[in-house]
Amino acid sequence: MVKGISYYLRQAWKKPDKEVVHSRLIEWRKGGSLEVVEKPLRIDRARALGYSAKKGFVIVRVKISRGGRKRKREQVKGRKTRKQTNRKILKMSYRWVAEMRVARKYKNLEVLNSYWIGQDGIYYFYEVILVDPSRPEIKNDRKINWIVDNRKRAERGLTGAAKKSRGMVTNRGKSPNLKVRPSLRSWNRRGK
């Protein structure tokens, strides 16, 4: 069976060249936290998530700091020690956080999806696919014009990263809306 270019691109991303990856990460680290790029780095992944090379689609590279997702402990005297416990404050995946940041910056565009492109000891790097719902090219395309009526998808938790982070089942079948686990509140109510 003859394999297409997408197959070989996926295989190349499984075992990337270390020197190329290292030079890319150095360059990305120097750049800003949100940068519009001309074309997607992982074209196979972008196309699988709905990207088309036409007007109305924008790709943004996002840099997210790793770690530091807990409250800092107060270094003040006169506090009760039981009030100084470190609590996890962010129950969202890094990818969802990246989508939210992009959505806040580019308010006229709508987040379609995102994917991982790299990481080092300090940052995670993602590419987020954005769509301009006001463009006539998008309004006239049957495959993507549904996004015109679905605004603020990232904030409402409707992107793929958000659904996965919320524990929603992503497969289709008899009952696709079942959760993988009970809700966090019900888990606490049971005393576990």
Is residue 189 assigned to a domain?
no
Q: Per the structure block, which two tokens stand in for 30?
A: 């120097």
The reply to whether 117 falls in a domain is yes
Strand partners, 114: 128
Q: Which CATH number does the domain housing residue 36 bear?
A: 3.40.1120.10
Residues 6 or more apart whose CB falls under 8 angstroms from that of 23 comprise none
Q: pTM (2 decimals)?
A: 0.79
Domain membership flag for residue 78: no
Round to whole Å and give the CA distance between 107 and 73: 35
**DSSP secondary structure letters along 139-188:** HT-TTTGGGGS---TTTTT-SHHHHHHTTB--S-SS-TT-BSS--HHHHH
**Residue 68: its pLDDT value, please?**
73
Residues of the chain with pLDDT under 70: 71-74, 86-89, 169-192
| HSE-CB of 105 using CA atoms within 13 angstroms | 15
Q: Which domain holds residue 23?
A: 16-71+84-150
Task: Give the pLDDT of residue 147.
Answer: 92
140-163 pLDDT, tens per residue? 999 999 999 989 999 998 998 988
Would you say 159 and 92 are in contact if contact means Cβ atoms under 8 Å apart? no
CA distances from 86 to 118, 187, 188, 191 (A): 29, 20, 18, 20
pLDDT at 79: 72
pLDDT at 165: 84
Those residues whose C-beta lies under 8 Å from the C-beta of residue 99, and which sit 6 or more positions away, are: 111, 114, 128, 154, 159, 161, 162
Contacts of 100 (CB under 8 A, 6+ apart): 92, 154, 155
**Residue 144 within any structural domain of the chain:** yes
Domain count for the chain = 1
Q: Is residue 173 part of a domain?
A: no
Sheet bearing 110-119, strands edge to edge: 34-37, 57-65, 123-131, 110-119
Residue 116 lies in a domain: yes
Examine residue 6 and state whether it is found in any structural domain, yes or no.
no
- Report d(CA 3, CA 22) in Å as an integer: 29
Residue 104 lies in a domain: yes
